[in-house]
Structure 1
C-alpha cells in the first residue's frame, strides 16, 4: 500500500490554518443557500456566493425546504424589519416568539400622548370607542405631568447633577406610573431581526389571529418579505450612477444594475405561508374543553407569583398547560381539577393538543413541559411586557380581560398617587375604561370581544405561566430586582427569588438579588 505522504497532491497544504471572515452584501436567501451548501459541497463560502444566483437559490429552496422539509435551512436567513404604528396589543402578539430579537418604543423614556391609537372597525360604536381612548390619554398626560411635579418637590436636585439629567430621570419615574393608563390600542413601533423559519411561523400565527389588525399585520409582513426591501443607500447609489452615466452611459447602466437592483429578503421562504389551521382548530377545541372542565367555577384567589410543582407527573402537566392559555383560572386551580380526572380523560385533553397537527407543524408551546420551575404570575400588562422579553422561558399567556382587576402603581420610597392627590382620578379612569370595555364586549358586533380588549389599560392584570430551569430563574430574579428596574417587575422578581429559596434553601446563596424593601436612590437609573 502506497504512502499518501509521497503524493504531494493528496492533501492540500496548511491544513491547520483557519480562515474567518465576515460576509456583507449577500441577499438573505442566497446566503442561506450558500451556508447550506457546506453540507453538500466542498466549496468555500466565497466560491459558493460567486457561483450562486438568486434564481438558483430559489430553485434550491423550493426543492429542499418545501419538498424535502429541511426547515433548518431557513434558520440561516436572517431578516430585519421595521414595524411602525401598530397597537401595543398587536406588538405583544408579534413578539411572542421564543426565537426573536428586537426593540420596541419604551414607555419609560418616551411620551406616548401623541402616538395615537388603533381603532377597529366598529361602525356606530366608533364614537364611544374614541371617547374612551381619549379619556385614558388625557388621564395619562395629566397624571404623568402631576407625578413629575410631585417628584420634583419630594426629591431635591443634587448640586452636581445637571438640570436635564435631573428632569429626565424623574420623568422616567413619572412615566413608570402614568403608563398604567395607556390603553392596549396605543400605537407603538419596533424593529425585529428574525430568521426566515421564525418569520414563517410568525406570519402563519398572525394570519390565524382572531384580531383583524393582527391578521393584517401578518399579511404586511409577508408582503414586506416577498417584495423589494428598503435600501438605506438607494439615494446615494442613484446619484452615483447618474454621475457615472454622465461620463459613460454603458458603465452607468452596469453600475445601476448592481447598485440599484431590488433586493427581496425572503421571497421564497414565506411565499406559501398560510394561517396555521393547526393552531386555530386546537385553540377552539381546547377553549371548549377548558370551559367544560371548569364548569363556570369561581376564580380562586392567587398570589402575584405562585411557584407550582408538577409532582403529579408529566401527563397532568401537559393537560393543565394545554388548557391554561384558554381560560382565566390559575395554573394551580386547573391542575387540581386535572389531577382528579381519570388517566383516559387526561389523555383525551393531551390528544386534543396534537389532533390537528399537520406534517410540518411544530407542537404548540404548551407541549414544552418538564421544566424544573413553573411560575404562575398575575401582574399588570405593562410589567408583563417587560417580563415577556425573557425568551429562554416557555411562556403561556392568557387573553386580556377585566376579571382580574387592575394594579395601583406604587414604588417603595417614591411618592404615591395619593401623595400627589391623583389616586381618585386614577381609579375613576381605570373603572371608566373597564366599563367601556364591557359595553363594547357585549355589544354583539363582529369581533366585539377582541375589539373591546384594545380599551384595557396597561394597569390591567394579566395571567401568564413562565416555565424555566434554575439558571433562568436566578437570572430573572437578579436582573429584574435591580434598583434601576420598574417597581412592578421588581416585585415579581423578588417573589420569584423568595419562592425558589423557600423550596430550596441551600440554593439561596447563589442569588444576587436586591431586596425591594430596601430604600433606593430614585435619581439612579
Structure 2
C-alpha cells in the first residue's frame, strides 16, 4: 500500500477568504503582491495601520497609483436623505447598494427634507404643498385600492390579508407618483475607495446644499470611527474574561474594541471637483449659444418614451459630433437628436472647440468626463416619469447622462393597461390638483412660466400638464396605443438650456417627466429589456423596456429574435406579483 500524501503539492493553487482586516490595510496588503513575494497572510501579519498610511501617501497620492483604492471596499448606511439627493448619490457607474422600495414600504412615515428658502412665505407654501402631496399619496393609494378591489374579485383559496396586500402594492404603484423629491429615503452602499473618492468630490460640487452636506458626511464617515457590529458581543466577552484575568482582558480589549477607521487616508484630500465646477458653466453657456430659443421637439409618435440614436451612415466626424453633443446634452432639456443635429451643422473647427471646452480644465488625476463614454454603442434617449427612471437608474453596465429636474416635459398620470385608471377614478381631480399645485409652486419660485392647462381634445389628454411632448391614450376594452399631438404652447424653460438648480425642485412629484441618455452594448440592451418587461414590474419601466426592444428591432431586425421579452400591453393577473 502506497504512502498517503500528507502535504499539498508545491504548485497547488491556494484559495482563502479574508475577514477582519481594515479596508485600507487590506488594500495595502493586496497591492504588495506587485512588490513582494509574501503571501497575503504574511503581509497582513506585518502591516500596521501606520505602515498602510505611509504606503498609500507615497504610492496613491504621490505616484498616482489610483488602482490601489479599487482594493479597499467600504460599506455605508445613509439614512434620512431626500429622494433628490439619493438620485445624485447613486449616480455612479461603479456602485453597489440597495434603497428603500416605494412599492413595499409606506413612505408617508418617512418625513421629508426642508430646504432653505429666501422668504418665509415660500418656505411656508413649500411645507403646505409637500404636506398636501403626502395627504394625496394616501388618498390616491386608498382610493385606487378600492377601485382595484371592485375590478378584481378575491379568488377562492386566497385569504383576505394576501388579497389586500397584493392589490395594495399595485395601488401604491400609482400613488407613488405623488411622492415629492423631498421625501426621505434610506439606502446602503458598498463601494471601493476610488469610487468613493470620486463620489464625494462630485457631491461636494453639487448646486444643492443637502447634497454638498451629504458629501461632507460621507467623507467624515470614511475618515472617522466606524460603527462596529461586534462591539456589543465583544464587551460581554471581555467582562467574563476580566473576572478571571484583568490583564488578559485589557490586552484583548485593545484588539476587540479598538477604533476602526475604514478609509482615513484615501479620502482625506477629497475636495470639490475643480474640473466639474469650471467645466459646468462654460458648457451651459455653449449649449445656450448653440440652441438659442429653439422649442423642444416632441419624441417620435410611435416611440414617445424612447429614441434610439443612430448617426447617419457615412457621416464625416461622426464620433466628434457625438462627443460634443454628449458634453452639451446634460446642460439642456432637449432631445439628444436635437442637440446632435445642431452640433452637426457646425464647422469642424467649432465642433473641435466644443470638445476642447469639455477638457480644458482637466487636472492631472481627473478622469475624462462621463460624456466621453456615452458616444459609442446603443444609445437610448429616454423620457419618462422620475419614479420609473429611478428603477432604470439602477442599471450599472451602461453610461447614463442625466438632465436636470424640470417641469417643461409635463407629468404622467398612472393609467396602466388592464387595471382601473386614475383618470376615470374618483381621485383623479385630487391627483391633478396636487401635481399642478406643485408645478405652480415650482414656477413661482424659479420664474419659469408653466401655462395653465390647455383645452384637451379628450378627457385623457387633460390628465397631463401642457408640455411639447406626446402623451399616451388608452382605449376602452383592451389597450389601444395612440399618441396625441403635443399640447399648444411652450414654456420659458423649453426654449433655453437649464441654468442650474433650485430648492423648489424638492417639491416636484415622481410623476414629473425627466430626460436621460443611456448608452450600452447589445448584451445590456437585451438584459434591461428582458428584465424590465416582466409582468411583475412597474408599468412605467415595462413600457420603456418594450420601446427599447422595438427601437432595436426596427434598426437591426435580424437581432430582434434574441430578445425574450413580454409585451406590457398583454393582460396580466393583477394578483400575481
Q: Would you say how many aligned residue pairs link Structure 1 and Structure 2? A: 511
Q: Which string of whole-angstrom CA distances, capped at 9 and with x for unpartnered residues, describes residues 465-521 of structure 1?
A: 011111111111111110001000000000000010011111111110001111111
Q: Which residue of 2 aligns with 1:482?
A: 534
Looking at structure 2, the residues matched to 106 and 148 of structure 1 have their Cα atoms a distance apart, in angstroms, of 19
Three-state SS of the structure 1 residue aligned to 2:295 is coil
> Relative to structure 2, which stretch is displaced further, 424-433 or 352-361?
424-433
Distance across 1 between alignment mates of 2:190 and 2:56 = 21
Q: Distance in 2 between matches of 1:55 and 1:158?
A: 66
Matching residue within 507, 515, 520 for 2:567: 515
CA distance in 2, matches of 1:157, 1:102: 36
- Measured against aligned partners, the alpha-carbon deviations of 1:78-128 in whole angstroms (never above 9, x if no partner) come to 000000000000000000000000000000001111111101112512111
Which of 177, 200, 203 is residue 203 of structure 1 equivalent to? 200
What is residue 305 of structure 1 aligned with on the other side? 306
1:113 aligns with 2:108: yes
Q: Matched residues in 2 for 1:426 and 1:441: separation?
A: 23
User: What is the deviation of 1:179?
Assistant: 0.5
1:178 paired residue number = 175
Distance 2:541 2:507 in 1: 23
CA contact (8 A) 2:530 2:565 kept: yes
Q: Are the counterparts in 1 of residues 108 and 134 from structure 2 also a CA contact under 8 Å?
A: yes
> What residue number does 1:29 align with?
24
Secondary structure of 1:205's match? helix
Structure 1 residue 66 corresponds to structure 2 residue 67:
no
- Give yes or no for contact 1:308–1:332 (8 Å, CA) kept in 2: yes
Matched, 1:316 2:321: yes
Matches within 5 A, 1:345-424: 345-424=350-429
Q: Where does residue 345 of structure 2 map in the other structure?
A: 340
Separation in 2 of the partners of 1:187 and 1:369? 31
Give the CA RMSD over aligned residues.
1.4
For residues 294-334 of structure 1, what are the alpha-carbon distances to aligned partners after superposition, in whole Å with 9 as ceiling and x for unaligned? 11211111121111113441000001000000010100111
Once residues 454 and 152 of structure 1 are traced to their aligned partners in structure 2, the CA distance between those partners, rounded to angstroms, is 33
Aligned to 1:216: 213
Partner of 2:87: 92
* Aligned counterpart in structure 1 of residue 78 of structure 2, from 83, 106, 110: 83
Q: Where does the alignment leave 5 or more consecutive residues of structure 2 unmatched? A: 1-6, 449-498
CA drift at 1:419: 3.9
Structure 1 residues 256 and 438: CA distance shift in structure 2, 3 A: same
- Counterparts of 1:369 and 1:377, CA distance in 2: 14
CA distance in 1, matches of 2:565, 2:443: 40
User: How far apart are residue 247 of structure 1 and its match?
Assistant: 2.0
Does structure 1 residue 493 correspond to structure 2 residue 494?
no
**Structure 1 SS opposite 2:109:** coil
Query: 1: CA distance between counterparts of 2:131 and 2:392?
Result: 28
CA offset digits 1:20-59 (Å, max 9, x no partner)? 1111000000000011111111111111111111110010
How many Å apart are 1:240 and its aligned residue? 1.6
Distance, in Å, in 2 between the alignment partners of 1:162 and 1:348 is: 67
Runs of 4+ in 1 over 6 A off after TM superposition: none
Checking the alignment, whether the CA contact within 8 Å between 2:415 and 2:423 is kept in structure 1 is no
Q: Which residue of 1 aligns with 2:469?
A: none
1:414 & 1:456 partners in 2: Cα distance?
Answer: 26
| Cα drift, residue 440 of structure 1 | 1.9
1:240 to 233, 237, 240: 237
Q: How far apart, in 1, do the equivalents of 2:101 and 2:251 lie?
A: 44
**Structure 1 equivalent of residue 463 of structure 2:** none
Structure 1 residues 60 and 132: alpha-carbon distance in aligned structure 2, compared to 1, 3 A threshold: same
Partner of 1:5: none
The range that moved more, 368-377 or 398-407, is: 368-377
Equivalent residues of 2:144, 2:171 under 8 A apart: yes
Asked whether the 8 Å contact 1:377–1:463 carries over to 2, the reply is yes
3-state SS of the aligned residue for 1:175?
Answer: helix
Whether the 8 Å contact between 1:184 and 1:457 is mirrored in structure 2 is yes
- 1:250 to 1:448, Cα distance in 2 relative to 1, 3 A: same
1:314-367 C-alpha deviation (Å, 9 max, x unpaired): 000001000000010100111111110000111111001101000000011001
* Structure 1 gaps, min length 5: 1-11
- Is 1:257 aligned with 2:254? yes
Q: Counterpart of 1:9?
A: none
1:6: which partner in 2? none
User: Residues 185 and 448 of structure 1: is their aligned pair in 2 closer, same or farther, counting only changes over 3 Å?
Assistant: farther
Can you list the C-alpha shifts for 1:127-150, whole angstroms capped at 9, x where unaligned?
111011111111111001111111
CA distance in structure 1 between the aligned counterparts of 2:267 and 2:422, rounded to whole angstroms = 49
Q: CA deviation at 1:245?
A: 1.6
What is the distance in 2 between the residues matched to 1:43 and 1:323?
A: 50
In the TM superposition, residue 159 of structure 1 has moved relative to its aligned partner by 1.8
Supply the distance in 2 between the matched residues of 1:152 and 1:15 (Cα, whole angstroms).
69
Equivalent runs, 1:3-42 vs 2, <5 Å: 14-42=9-37
2:164 corresponding residue in structure 1: 167
Counterparts of 1:474 and 1:35 in 2: how far apart (Å)?
Answer: 36
Report the Cα offset of residue 448 of structure 1. Answer: 9.5
Report the alpha carbon displacement of residue 449 of structure 1 after superposing the two structures with TM.
4.2
